[in-house]
Amino acid sequence: MRWRALVLSVASALWAVASVACGAASAEEQTLLRFFVAAPTLDRTVIGKYATIGFNPRTDGIVQHFTITSVGPERQEQKDVTIDALVRDPNGHTARRTLVATFRRIEGRWLITGLRQTPASQTSREASSAPQN
C-alpha cells in the first residue's frame, strides 16, 4: 500500500507541474491544484498552506483532474469557485463531479475553507439514466 501511495503522489506531483507549466493558471486554479496534490498525503502542514479543510482520499476519493467552470463574485472576503472534477472514489471507480470550493481571505491569503459537491453530481448513474415518464 505504501508503494501505491508513493506512485500516486509522484504522479499527482508530475501532473501538477505539467498543468502549471502548460499555461498561466489563475490564483484559484493554482491553489486548488496544490490542495488536490497535497490531499492524498494527509499531511496537515502542507494542506494547511492552501486550505483550512481536508479532502480525505479514503472517504472523499482523489481528484485526478479538474477544470474551473466559474468563479463567483467576491463578497465579504469570500468567493465560490465551481469546478468540474474527475474523481476516483475509494472503491476505484472514476466519475465526474461538480464541486464548489469556497475561498476566504484569511490574513491576506485566499484559502479554501469549504468544499461541497453539488446535488446534481450526487445523483447515481442509475437514477440519472432512468427513463422519463
The per-residue pLDDT for range 92-117, each reduced to its tens digit, is 999 999 999 999 999 999 999 999 99
In a domain? residue 39: yes
Instruction: Measure the CA–CA gap between 87 and 77, rounded to whole angstroms.
Output: 29
Determine the structural domain holding residue 110 and report its residue range: 2-122
The CATH number of residue 71's host domain is 3.10.450
pLDDT for 58 equals 94
In a domain? residue 127: no
Q: Are 102 and 78 in contact (CB under 8 A)?
A: yes
Contacts of 105 (CB under 8 A, 6+ apart): 77, 78, 111
In a domain? residue 130: no
Q: Give the ranges where the chain is alpha helix by DSSP (H).
A: 2-21, 27-38, 44-47, 125-129
Instruction: Measure the CA–CA gap between 9 and 28, rounded to whole angstroms.
Output: 21
Q: pLDDT tens, 21-62?
A: 556 789 999 999 999 999 999 999 999 999 999 999 999 999
In a domain? residue 91: yes
When pLDDT is averaged across residues 3-27 and rounded to a whole number, the result is 57
pTM of the entire predicted model? 0.73
In a domain? residue 131: no
Looking at the DSSP bridge assignments, the partners of residue 68 are 83
Q: Compare 130 and 82 and report the one with higher pLDDT.
A: 82
Instruction: Measure the CA–CA gap between 102 and 115, rounded to whole angstroms.
Output: 6
In a domain? residue 30: yes
In a domain? residue 72: yes
Residues 112, 5, 56, 111, Cα dihedral to 10°: -10
In a domain? residue 129: no
Q: Compare 86 and 15 and report the one with higher pLDDT.
A: 86
Q: If we measure between CA atoms, which residue out of 85, 79, 114, 111 comes closest to residue 98? A: 85
How many residues in the chain?
A: 133
Q: What is the count of structural domains for the chain?
A: 1
